[in-house]
Amino acid sequence: VPRSFLTSKEQFHAFLAARAAPGSEEAPREDEDEEPRSSEQPEPPAKRARPEEPPAEGGGGEEAGEAGREEPEPRERRRARGQNKSRPCMKPKQYESSRLCPSVTQGCAEKCYFGSRCRFLHDLDEYMAVKPADLGQTCVLFATFGKCGYGVTCRFAQAHLGDGYQNVVNTELAKQWEGKSLVRNNLPKELQHRLRKKKFSFEKADEYLRRLGKPQGDRGQGNETSGSSTEAQEVPNCTAPEEGPRDAPAHPVLPEEGGDPKPAALESPCATDASEGSPIKTMGPVTDEDIIKLRLCEKKKLEIQGKLYLAPLTTCGNLPFRRICKRFGADVTCGEMAVCTNLLQGQSSEWALLKRHHTEDVFGVQLEGAFPDTMTKCAELLNQTIEVDFVDINVGCPIDLVYKKGGGCALMTRSNKFEQIVRGMNSVLDVPLTVKIRTGVQEKVNVAHKIIPRIREWGASMVTLHGRSREQRYTKVADWDYIAECAKIASPMPLFGNGDILSYEDANRAMQTGVSGIMIARQVTVGALIKPWIFTEIKEQRHWDISSSERLDVLKDFTNYGLEHWGSDTQGVEKTRKFLLEWLSFLCRYIPVGLLEHLPQKINERPPYYMGRDYLETLMASQNVDDWIKISELLLGPVPAGFTFLPKHKANSYR
């Protein structure tokens, strides 16, 4: 950054405090010593140099005492990495004490399930007396779809409320969207009930696990079963049919208790028992697809070579953010990492990670798990209930919560379980199966080149390799030379590279290494989270010096997409605000191209304090939570009383 834009931390915050509004022309005060109240606490502290010299000899007792007193200090540094696990989280009742019963919003107040026991309001006049003021005069749902399903609870209700609080409908606009499904992969109540009552039929998965013959024994028995699983999986090849019908229905008819409506053709490996009656009603002539099972060589191919792949990003890789990246040119999108056990339990919050917008033409989901039974069953569940183009296994997650349970990167050291998971999921899926891995677990011990050929043999359609180990997390530089070696080893299976794609120049160099494509993820300094327009830069082969007003327009689009997805009532507005603030905790690390002395920006370069070319650009560069909240108030109105925010992820990447 040129010296003319550099500043100190005190001057930076004094400038923002002096100019509280974007239109203000007041100059910063030189003598202002008082800083914003919370600027010190939420802002990440400066990194301290790690002492490399050993302590001097002598005075062992005193030095030991000093070492004991200084012990809490490294703990604070450790807590400043990873996640804010005990961060405050506001619940809906904290910012909206009096809520209107959903039955009133839907126009059927007399049919409230809870009756007199309902804890929500049923009187419209009483609700309108305590409802917070509207946030604007334009409702994005009413303007886009001709109807707002939130009625009087909408925080922009003045745009579509008539006399007597009646919800106005734009009939012509509403007809254009009638019958169209904008978001797919929802969780039906009937399916959720079956999952919770454990009435869902996992026919293919159970058959695979029976053939696996995996006893609940020690490690030695697990090694024996690895061979049997390989032998069992050699049956479904290009000459022998694989279990299961070719086309699974989108919403399968599941057996009730005590009944067995499944035809024999679905239960037996042989498709010759077609004489038994089937309760599934069909129309038209019987074709080969009805009686001949899908063979491995006939499985749908994943043709995404050379395309830009948006990585699954925890917390921030939500549906509105993926729509932003899709608009900027992302070709392939993937949902956030979903835990297979939570999906099998029918948790609504976990199933929300699988939702797919209709603009996502190539979309996949990523699963995390540690055992073949749960992963195989989850794969069969998703194969029958949602629409995806591929399923990805997360073998690259470095966090302790996942690693210590045997998932994520730990699978790279548990080859038997890894093989059983890949083979099992591949046997029950009708769509391609992909795997995302790292170079290894330890920093200087690469093992990916040994695992990739085996993954290809197990039946995976593609591998994505992140050029860092688990110990490196998101620090150091990605090893693209090693990725190039692994790409040669993986051939003919496609291999996508991931790590340090900061500009179109880096993308061009990455493609010259022989990879089939590149995955763009968070990239601590620049990347999809900090710079979603990187997809446009790569496709147009240019550096985009995007202005602060254009960046604000991107944030406006995100809030509109968020209100469409999470709702325009108070709860939806605050959820949109929460994910906007999570994203702003990454966006603040972006340095405009026009302020850089050299292009492109390098990873692990901590940006200094600098003044932007206008107030808004300076405000967006702040790492102060209060300034992020100020940006959210420009888009979503004032925050509720007592509002607090602490980002989920902390940066530990400037090492």
Same domain, 576 and 493: no
Q: pLDDT tens across 354-399, in order?
A: 999 999 999 999 999 999 999 999 999 999 999 999 999 999 998 8
Same domain, 383 and 408: yes
CA-closest candidate to residue 400, choices 411, 389, 409: 409
pLDDT category of residue 475 using cuts at 50, 70 and 90: low
- Average pLDDT, integer, range 124-128: 90
Total domains present in the chain: 3
Same domain, 522 and 645: no
Same domain, 491 and 629: no
Average pLDDT, the chain: 79
Q: Residue 66: what pLDDT?
A: 41
Q: Residue 331: what pLDDT?
A: 95
Q: Length of the chain, please?
A: 655
Where is average pLDDT lowest: 107-116, 272-281, 421-430, 539-548? 272-281
pLDDT category of residue 328 using cuts at 50, 70 and 90: very high
Same domain, 628 and 512: no
Q: Are 376 and 209 in contact (CB under 8 A)?
A: yes
Listed in sequence order, the residues at least 6 apart from 148 whose beta carbon sits closer than 8 Å to its beta carbon are 139, 141, 142, 154, 156, 157, 159, 160, 167, 568
- Measure the CA–CA gap between 640 and 567, rounded to whole angstroms: 17
Listed in sequence order, the residues at least 6 apart from 28 whose beta carbon sits closer than 8 Å to its beta carbon are 11, 14, 15, 18, 19
Q: Based on the number of CB atoms within 10 Å of its own CB, is 81 exposed (0-12), middle (13-18) or buried (19 or more)? A: middle
Same domain, 170 and 193: no
Which long-range contacts link 231-239 to residues 24+ away (Cβ below 8 Å)?
A: 232/208, 233/423, 233/427, 233/458, 233/459, 236/295, 236/296, 236/427, 237/295, 237/296, 237/297, 238/295, 238/296, 238/297, 239/295
pLDDT category of residue 56 using cuts at 50, 70 and 90: very low
Q: pLDDT tens across 192-226, in order?
A: 999 999 999 999 999 999 998 755 444 333 333 33
Which of 88-92, 230-234, 271-275, 339-343 has the largest mean confidence?
339-343
Question: Coil, strand or helix: which one is 141?
Answer: helix
- Average pLDDT, integer, range 448-454: 96
- Average pLDDT, integer, range 463-489: 89
Same domain, 322 and 396: yes
Question: Coil, strand or helix: which one is 579?
Answer: helix
Q: Are 437 and 451 in contact (CB under 8 A)?
A: yes
H-state helical runs in 512-547: 534-540
Question: pTM higher than 0.95 for the full model?
Answer: no
- Answer yes or no: is pLDDT of 263 > 70: no
CATH code of residue 330: 3.20.20.70
Same domain, 628 and 513: no
Q: Which residues participate in catalysis according to the annotation?
A: 397
Q: Residue 589: what pLDDT?
A: 85
CA-closest candidate to residue 365, choices 339, 337, 343: 337
Q: Alpha-carbon dihedral of residues 515, 519, 521, 523, nearest 10 degrees?
A: 30
Q: Are 146 and 167 in contact (CB under 8 A)?
A: no
Q: Would you say residue 237 lies in a domain?
A: no
Residue found under tokens 């009756």:
115
Q: Residue 296: what pLDDT?
A: 54
Phi, psi dihedrals of residue 559, rounded to the nearest 5°: -65, -40
Per the structure, the complete domain to which residue 155 belongs is given by: 102-183
Question: Coil, strand or helix: which one is 653?
Answer: coil
Return the structure tokens found at 477: 């530089």
Phi, psi dihedrals of residue 462, rounded to the nearest 5°: -160, 155
Q: Residue 253: what pLDDT?
A: 37
Using the 3D structure, point to which of 510, 544, 578 is the last residue of a domain. 544
CA-closest candidate to residue 212, choices 391, 371, 406: 371
Q: Would you say residue 606 lies in a domain?
A: yes
Listed in sequence order, the residues at least 6 apart from 158 whose beta carbon sits closer than 8 Å to its beta carbon are 134, 137
- Average pLDDT, integer, range 336-358: 96
* Strand residue runs (E) in 525-616: none
Q: Residue 209: what pLDDT?
A: 94
Same domain, 505 and 587: no
- Average pLDDT, integer, range 177-204: 94
- Average pLDDT, integer, range 609-616: 91
Q: Are 294 and 430 in contact (CB under 8 A)?
A: yes
pLDDT category of residue 302 using cuts at 50, 70 and 90: confident
Q: Residue 427: what pLDDT?
A: 94
Q: Which residues partner with 183 through β-bridges?
A: 357
Q: Would you say residue 256 lies in a domain?
A: no
Helix axes 480-490, 504-511, angle to 10 degrees: 40
Where is average pLDDT lowest: 165-169, 259-263, 348-352? 259-263
Q: Residue 233: what pLDDT?
A: 38
Q: Would you say residue 91 lies in a domain?
A: no
Same domain, 195 and 158: no
